[in-house]
Amino acid sequence: MKKRLCMLLIAALMMLAGCGRKAEEAAPEEPATIALPDGGQEILFEDGSEPIGADEAALRKAYPEVFMLDASKGLDVIVWQMAGELYSFGILEHAETQRDWLDPALMQLKGFSADEMRTVLAAYGVNEADVTIVPWQNPISSYLPDYLIVRTGEDPEAKRQAYIDGVRAILFGDRS
């Protein structure tokens, strides 16, 4: 009995040791590319899927719920960062009051790129003034955007507003 228990314990430890690779040892997951006859490349992910990109028809097909919001009172574009220049965007119907940090609606957002969010906003045909930019600290991100780091003497609201203005420029600024 003791011998069998020891064998099971050793087997479990060996399995755990095999699964416990350090994060830096793991190769980053990168998409594969396929060479096209015209000399270009098509990006494919490991599962064989293709990136959706900012094509409205593809976005509508993949995420129809994003295009079914009531925009009559405006839209809230939720923005969070996963790294320095890696912004993710979600969209919700405008809320008059601030949402709770762990609001289920926020937790279920799909993170779109800036190009994809510009496409979604264009499909709604809303004016820039009808879009509220809402910074959010996504709980799955360990990255703290600069507006959350307030030093002595800095105005936290001014920092937050500068961040919002920067995000607004990303989404609505001149792209020419």
What is the reported pLDDT for 53?
Answer: 62
Mean pLDDT score, 167-172:
96
In-domain check, residue 46: no
pTM more than 0.75: no
Mean per-residue pLDDT over the chain, rounded: 80
pLDDT over threshold 80, residue 125: yes
Q: Which of 13-22, 76-85, 132-141, 143-152 has the lowest mean pLDDT?
A: 13-22
Mean pLDDT score, 111-117:
95
The region that residue 114 occupies, defined by phi over 0 for left and psi between -120 and 50 for alpha, beta otherwise, is alpha
Q: What is the biggest distance separating any 2 CA atoms in the chain, rounded to whole angstroms?
A: 75
Q: Is 48 helix (H, G, I), strand (E, B) or coil?
A: coil
In-domain check, residue 17: no
pLDDT over threshold 80, residue 147: yes
CA distance 167 to 176: 17
Q: Which of 5-14, 95-104, 123-132 has the lowest mean pLDDT?
A: 5-14
What is the reported pLDDT for 24?
Answer: 39
In-domain check, residue 107: yes
For a pLDDT cut of 70, what percent of the chain falls above it?
A: 68
Q: Quick: pLDDT tens for 6-19.
A: 454 455 444 444 44
Structure tokens at 109: 């957002």
Q: Is 162 helix (H, G, I), strand (E, B) or coil?
A: helix
In-domain check, residue 83: yes
Domains: count for the chain: 1
In-domain check, residue 25: no
CA distance 59 to 66: 9
In-domain check, residue 61: yes
Give the domain range for residue 157: 53-172
What is the reported pLDDT for 1?
Answer: 59
In-domain check, residue 101: yes
Q: Quick: pLDDT tens for 20-77.
A: 444 334 444 444 444 444 444 444 444 444 455 678 999 999 999 999 999 999 999 9
In-domain check, residue 154: yes
